[in-house]
Structure formats: C-alpha cells, structure tokens
Amino acid sequence: MNEIILTCLKTSLFSAFRRFGFERRQPSCNLNNQKSSENPSLSGRRIFTERIFGQPRHKTQQILGGFASILTMGERKSSRENHGSDYSIHLRGIKRRKMMKKQKNFISIVSLILCFAFALAACSGGAQNGKETVNSDDSSLPTSFAEGDLPGDTDSAQEETLTVAENPPKYSSDEKLIALTYDDGPYTKTTSQILEVLKENDSSATFFIVGNRLNDGTSAVLKQAVDYGCEIANHTYEHKNLMKVTDSERAQQIKAANDAVNEYADVVPVLLRAPGGNYKGVEDKVGMPLIQWTIDTEDWRNKDASNKSRTAEQRQAKIDEIVSDVLNDVQAGDIILMHDIYNFTVDLTKALVPKLIEQGYKLVTVSEMFEAYGVELEAGGVYRHARPESAESKPSVEPGIYTVSISSDPTLNLRDKVGAGSVVLAEIPNGATVTVLQCADGWANVTYNEYAGWVSANYLKPYKTVEQ
C-alpha cells in the first residue's frame, strides 16, 4: 500500500510539473512533435506518465493543466509583443521574472495540495480492498451501468467504474460460482459472526442493507464487510414495499439507502433487492438492477424466536435439513437468500459455507458472479440467477432409471434422432419409467417398452426421488 501511495505521489508531482512545462512552451508554436525529437527521454517519460494515469483526460492532469494555462496567459501575451524600447523590454523582463517566481511558488503549493488529496484518495480506495489484492473490491462494481443511471451516483463511483472497465473479471466463467445474499441487516451481533465465517472460508457475500439501520454504532460492521471483500447493496431505507408507495417515496427510499451506505461505508450500492421481493409493475421506476434469488433458505421461518419450544437437537436437525436441501438444488450461478439478523442464520452459515466449498463452489458477491458469467446487469432488469447458458439449456443425466416428468404436455415425444425436428417414434405418458443409456447435448438416449430413441433430458427425474 505504501509503495502505491509513494508511486502515486511521485507520479502526480512529476505529472504536475511536466504539464506545467508543456503549457508554458505551447503558445509560441506546436512544440509537441518538436519536443519528441529534441528530447526523446522526456517524451518517453511523458508516455510513461500517461500510462500510469490513463490518457491526459485524467482529472488531476486537466486541473493542473488548467491552472498552468491561466497562470501563463500573461506570459504568452507578452511574448507576442516584440516591439518597444530596450528599456521597457528590460523592465518587462524583470517584471516577468518576478511574476514567474510567484507562479512557480503557487504551482508548487497547488501541486502539493493536489498530491496530498490524491494520496488520501488512494488510501481510502485501498482500505476497501478486502482481500489485500489491488482492486479486488473494485471488481465488485459492475461495469455495465450507464453513468448517472443510478440514484445517489457520484463522481467517485463513476471514476471507480472507469477503473474497473480496464480490469479483467476477478473470477472466470469456468468456475462454479454462487452468491450468498443476506437481507435486512446490518445487525452487529449477528452480521459480524457471519463475516468471520466468510473470512475463515475465504468467501464473500452480498449484504442488502436497510438504510435506517445504519448509524455510528453499526458503521463498524458495515466497513468490516467492505474490508472483507463483501458487496453492500440496497434494500431500501425503511424496508418499504416498493409496489405500495408513491413514485416519489419509492425514489426517496432507494436514494436514501444508497446515501446512507455511501456516508457510512464510502461505497455506493449498485444493486437493489425489493423488500419481500415485491417489484412487479415498478421495475422501470427503480433505476437499479433488481436482484431476486434462486433458493430461499427460509431462515426467517426457522429463527429461534419463532421456535422457542424446540430442543437443541431439533434446531440442529433443521439446519442439517436446510443445508441438505440447498446442496440438492444448487447449481453454479445461483443466488441464495438468507437474513443476517438471526442467530439461527449464523449457525446455518457455519454449516452451509464449508459444505458448498466442499462441492467445488466459490462463494462470491452478486456483482462478481454476474460479471464472471458475462451477464450484464441493467437498471430495471430482474435477476434470479446467473446460471451459465450451457447449464440451463443443456441438462445432463447419468445412465439409469428415470421417470418422465413433463408439466407442459401429457406426453413426452420419443424421437429417432437428437433434436426437436426429428421423427416421433412414440409418445411417453407423464409418470412413465424409462431407462437412460447415455446423454448428449441435453438429449437422453432411452429405452421405453419396445422402443428406443431420444428424449429431452429436461423432462427426466431420477426414479428414486419420485418414489419417495
């Protein structure tokens, strides 16, 4: 971190004085090309500076350039006035040297102030990098939003977005990614324990916070979440049903929550979860992507306060049951719903996280997962999962006995070849049993009574599951 700050300081100082030098020379003629040939090393260093900062559109450079231009305007004007007596030229020379001295002092002070501000910005940016890798938190910011789309969008958020655009996604689409999401917090007692479980397992999650829960007391756990690489997202300011409020109140609820997160954790949420999942009819009015879920753990139904008479064993059995259900249903790209305000959820997290990792999943933030799978999140879009295309359209089944389970039709077509356009050999009734010999490209090669052919693997359920 210190090295980065030092580099930033050095480079911004260098950049400031380089820019100043350029602006002073430019008025007499276009010296940019000449300079390259006159002093190749300087030109090389300029390119180096631009690489560090991006193009000269960088704000620091623009501001410094602007200052330098204003300050050197008088000088440019006097250099064009070539007439006048020797004495007046002499006087003008003295005057100009004095002026230049003042300008240099002023530029030095301005540069130092800007460098200091830049170093501070670098420090606070670094503090958000939860896993101690450069830009790790930045990657949680999606790159696809149009700037200004989002309520509470700020200049700093836009600059971070620009930085992200140049970075590759943190995870690859080859990885099995899952996003754990926690709603309704923060609640320091339970949220902090969940964060420790995530940290111990080298995992992160997305916290959809309720804005009015943020205060000086809860800000520490919120910042801890950011430090641990977690994503902070919007769950409105007062947990209001977005379908039952006026347009202006809805906008206010969303903006106030974003502002609160920005104030207490210095990040701006880019995702929204509608309280209760109630978004229908107002998608176009929220100005943020709406994140729903694939699997509801129903932790809220099993919280201790609602189950006071159960024994410790019954409580543990419920946790085991939920973990087992999640493991059966989950697939890469899924979003799992929990609430970080219950002790029950702390224990559920302790049991679930290591099991998911055991199955080869990586637990990442919602933004990281969608970015890795190449799904662009758009304001007003509703997202339940980020399952990779192949997983959804091409199911695979192992050889064995299966039951036909089709809800859209009373029978399933048995075809002579792979593909919906091939000849139908027989119609297999819903609930009938088939034997799968092999599976390819989402199609299963099966035998059914005296027939043999292909059916879509989408409509096959393992025989045992149906029997239970």
Residues in Cβ contact with 60 at an 8 Å cutoff, skipping those fewer than 6 apart? 12, 15, 16, 53, 114, 118
Q: What minimum distance in Å lies between the beta carbon of 302 and Zn ion?
A: 16
Q: What minimum distance in Å lies between the beta carbon of 293 and Zn ion?
A: 11
Q: What minimum distance in Å lies between the beta carbon of 241 and Zn ion?
A: 10
Q: What minimum distance in Å lies between the beta carbon of 237 and Zn ion?
A: 12
Q: Which is nearer to Zn ion, 341 or 412 (CB)?
A: 341
Q: Which is nearer to Zn ion, 133 or 306 (CB)?
A: 306
Q: What are the C-alpha distances in Å from 77 to residues 20, 84, 93, 450? A: 17, 14, 13, 98
DSSP 272: B
Sole residue written with tokens 């530029």: 107
Residues in Cβ contact with 430 at an 8 Å cutoff, skipping those fewer than 6 apart? 404, 405, 406, 409, 410, 411, 412
Residue nearest to Zn ion (CB): 183
CA distance 425 to 416: 6
Q: Which is nearer to Zn ion, 275 or 453 (CB)?
A: 275
CA distance 257 to 171: 28
CB 415 within 8 A of CB 434: no
Tokens linked to 73? 């305007």
Q: Which is nearer to Zn ion, 184 or 227 (CB)?
A: 184
CA distance 74 to 93: 13
Q: What minimum distance in Å lies between the beta carbon of 186 and Zn ion?
A: 13
Q: What minimum distance in Å lies between the beta carbon of 339 and Zn ion?
A: 7
CB 366 within 8 A of CB 290: no
Tokens linked to 13? 């100082």
Q: What is the residue type of 195?
A: L
Q: What minimum distance in Å lies between the beta carbon of 238 and Zn ion?
A: 11
Cis peptide before 142 (omega within 30 of 0): no
- Secondary structure, 3-state, 87-117: HHHHHHHHHHHHHHHHHHHHHHHHHHHHHHH
Q: Which is nearer to Zn ion, 18 or 273 (CB)?
A: 273
DSSP 4: H
Q: What minimum distance in Å lies between the beta carbon of 303 and Zn ion?
A: 13
CA distance 117 to 250: 36
Q: What minimum distance in Å lies between the beta carbon of 244 and Zn ion?
A: 14
Residues in Cβ contact with 32 at an 8 Å cutoff, skipping those fewer than 6 apart? 22, 26
Q: Which is nearer to Zn ion, 61 or 234 (CB)?
A: 234
CA distance 261 to 385: 25
Q: Which is nearer to Zn ion, 269 or 275 (CB)?
A: 275
Q: Which is nearer to Zn ion, 341 or 379 (CB)?
A: 341
The DSSP code sequence of 403-417 is EE--SS-SEEEEESS
Q: Which is nearer to Zn ion, 183 or 259 (CB)?
A: 183
- Per CB under 5 A, residues contacting Zn ion are 183-184, 275
Q: Which is nearer to Zn ion, 118 or 208 (CB)?
A: 208
Q: Which is nearer to Zn ion, 209 or 372 (CB)?
A: 209
Q: What minimum distance in Å lies between the beta carbon of 208 and Zn ion?
A: 7
Q: What minimum distance in Å lies between the beta carbon of 235 and Zn ion?
A: 6
The DSSP code sequence of 115-146 is HHHHHHHHHHHHHT-TTSSTTTTGGGS-S-SP
